[in-house]
């Protein structure tokens, strides 16, 4: 196995950059980019665009104008080539057939149908295989994919906005109009819609659904709507809420199925079952790899108390409520921060 070299790194970084172009579009497949290099020059490249379509290696190989050069080339890919027949033939077999002598891989694919088999097949064919080039960066790019297959649950992102003095909301029990309380600005809200377009599902509790009447769709960005989830164990939500308008599919987690006009698929959680665990099990069965939890406080804290979260994105707006609904508190130190006008975004990881 050849060690990581300065020559390998920039080509693997190009694979990651290519793969990222399909963020949010490849589920349930990972994001993969591929670069083919001959004598230090890129002669072909490509990335996986959507599930069911050609894999990155196929795009890259087909883009090479002179196929004879493949026999003297190095193929770079950020994830181990597949070795099984799915919707497309195995990429390891294609690489073998094209007689590409060297393959450089970012990280091993821990999905059970791959899990080192692609590397084994390439080595058995006499291909020189180098692994672990920008390995951490490669796993980070596909953290949703790896979390789903290694922990049997979706990658969980907690999201909320709080004031400078640590409140999610005013006490709207004493407010007549009962309207949503905006803490952040338009730029931050647009970013939230971008996030929604990249994740597969989004969850709120019944209090947020009732008080804010959110649509949980992508309105200020282009992209697919996430699967909408609402937890309503008390069966108290009325039919007219935006979550039940049929614009996008909705799963309603409730204590019992009742006859109503809600356009939602109802999933019963018995009283003796933990709702967080039940929701995550349902999403795993549906092959949902990522989930945004948008609150409110009780739901967010339920995930935090169980340690069932991977990332938290917290906006802090330039407002002071002095009293109201307290925001969740995290023990972790934020890994990064970014300004959004008069608001600031803090990103945490549960590590």
pLDDT (tens digit, 9 = 90+) per residue, 150-188? 999 999 999 999 998 988 887 765 554 555 567 777 788
Return the bridge partners of 308, or none: none
| CA-to-CA dists, residue 154 to 38, 284, 289, 292, 319, angstroms | 39, 7, 4, 10, 33
From the list 101, 39, 115, the residue with the least C-alpha distance to 71 is: 101
Spell out where 201-247 has E strands: 201-205, 227-232
The domain spanning residue 141 has which CATH number?
A: 3.40.140.10
pLDDT per position as a tens digit, 262-319: 999 999 999 899 999 999 999 999 999 999 999 789 999 999 999 999 999 999 988 8
Q: Which residues are catalytic?
A: 57
Which of 123, 146, 169 delimits the end of a domain? 146
Residue 161 sits in the same domain as residue 12: no
Residue 17 sits in the same domain as residue 123: yes
Residue 119 sits in the same domain as residue 142: yes
On the question of pLDDT at 261 being above 50, the answer is yes
131, 105 in Cβ contact below 8 A? Answer: yes
Residue 116 sits in the same domain as residue 207: no
Whole-structure pTM value: 0.90
Task: Return the HEC string of 125-148.
Answer: CCCEEEECCCHHHHHHHCHHHHHH
On the question of pLDDT at 5 being above 80, the answer is no
Among residues of the chain, what percentage have pLDDT more than 70? 93
Q: Report d(CA 67, CA 75) in Å as an integer.
A: 13
> Which positions ≥6 away from 6 have C-beta within 8 Å?
none
Which of 120, 146, 172 delimits the end of a domain? 146
Q: Band of the pLDDT at 1, cuts 50, 70, 90?
A: very low
On the question of pLDDT at 260 being above 80, the answer is yes
pLDDT given for residue 219 in this prediction: 83
Higher pLDDT, 324 or 137: 137
pLDDT given for residue 295 in this prediction: 77
């Amino acid at each position: 196995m050849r060690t990581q070299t300065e020559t390998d790194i920039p080509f693997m970084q190009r694979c990651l950059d290519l793969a990222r172009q399909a963020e949010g579009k490849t589920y349930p497949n990972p994001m993969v980019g591929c670069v083919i290099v001959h004598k230090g020059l890129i002669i072909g490249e490509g990335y996986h665009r959507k599930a069911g379509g050609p894999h990155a290696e196929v795009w890259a190989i087909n883009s090479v104008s002179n196929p004879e050069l493949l026999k003297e080339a190095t193929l770079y890919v950020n994830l181990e080539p597949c070795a099984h027949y799915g919707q497309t033939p195995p990429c390891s077999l294609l690489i073998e057939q094209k007689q590409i002598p060297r393959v450089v891989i970012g990280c091993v694919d821990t999905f059970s149908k791959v899990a080192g088999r692609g590397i084994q097949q390439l080595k058995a064919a006499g291909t020189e295989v180098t692994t672990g080039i920008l390995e951490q960066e490669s796993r980070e790019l596909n953290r949703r994919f790896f979390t789903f297959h290694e922990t049997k649950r979706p990658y969980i992102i907690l999201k909320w906005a709080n004031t400078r003095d640590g409140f999610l909301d005013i006490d709207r029990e004493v407010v007549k109009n009962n309207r949503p309380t905006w803490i952040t600005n338009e730029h931050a809200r647009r970013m939230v819609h971008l996030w929604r377009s990249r994740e597969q599902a989004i969850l709120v509790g019944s209090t947020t659904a009732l008080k804010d009447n959110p649509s949980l769709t992508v309105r200020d960005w282009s992209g697919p709507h996430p699967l909408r989830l609402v937890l309503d164990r008390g069966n108290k939500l009325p039919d007219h809420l935006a979550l039940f308008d049929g614009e996008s599919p909705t799963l309603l987690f409730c204590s019992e199925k009742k006859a109503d006009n809600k356009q939602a698929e109802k999933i019963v959680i018995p009283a003796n079952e933990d709702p967080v665990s039940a929701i995550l099990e349902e999403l795993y069965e549906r092959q949902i790899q990522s989930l945004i939890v948008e609150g409110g406080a009780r739901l967010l804290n339920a995930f935090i108390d169980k340690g069932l979260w991977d990332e938290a994105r917290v906006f802090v707006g330039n407002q002071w409520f002095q009293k109201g609904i307290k925001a969740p508190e995290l023990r972790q130190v934020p890994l990064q921060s970014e300004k959004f006008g008069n608001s600031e975004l803090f990103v945490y990881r549960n590590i």
